[in-house]
Every structure is written in structure tokens, then in C-alpha cells.
Amino acid sequence: MNIDIQEMTTIEKLRTMELLWDDICHNTTDIASPAWHGDILKKREAQLLQGQEKFQDWSKTKKDIWKSIS
């Protein structure tokens, strides 16, 4: 496969990245997260429990991102 990234639009690049990440998330089991990921998740969980952070709907967030770049 030969892909000329320079010829792709930004939207094509983002869609390609989304497809790649989706495939990696669902089909890769041999890559472990680094320890610092766990540290960040613990910090964010503490912030959430203390009311300093809140969740955002991922579907809405993705739509907002697509709107901002198109």
C-alpha cells in the first residue's frame, strides 16, 4: 500500500487516523499502556470525584470537532 499523505485533505487524514485508532483499539492486545497512563487516570478520577472535572459526551464532542474543521 502506498499512500501520499501530502495529497490528502485534512478531513481525509483525520478520518484515516480515526479508522486506524479504532482498528488498533479493537484488534491489538500485545501493547501495554505505560505506567504514567495509570497515574494520569488516577489523577483525573480524583478530580472527577472532587467535582473539579466532568464527563463530555464523546459522540457530541466528535461532531463538534468535525464541525470546527470543515
* 3-class secondary-structure state, position 3: coil
What are the cell numbers at 53? 472535572
13 lies in a domain?
A: no
Full residue range of the structural domain in which residue 63 is found: 34-70
What are the cell numbers at 43? 489523577
What does the pLDDT average to over 13-19? 93
**Structure confidence at residue 69 as a pLDDT band (50, 70, 90):** confident
2 lies in a domain?
A: no
60 lies in a domain?
A: yes
51 lies in a domain?
A: yes
17 lies in a domain?
A: no
**Structure confidence at residue 38 as a pLDDT band (50, 70, 90):** very high
Number of domains composing the chain: 1
Specify the pTM: 0.46
Q: Is 14 exposed, middle or buried (0-12, 13-18, 19+ CB in 10 A)?
A: middle
27 lies in a domain?
A: no
41 lies in a domain?
A: yes
57 lies in a domain?
A: yes
Residue 27 to residue 70: CA distance in whole angstroms? 30
What are the cell numbers at 48? 472527577
Residue 1 has pLDDT above 80, yes or no: no
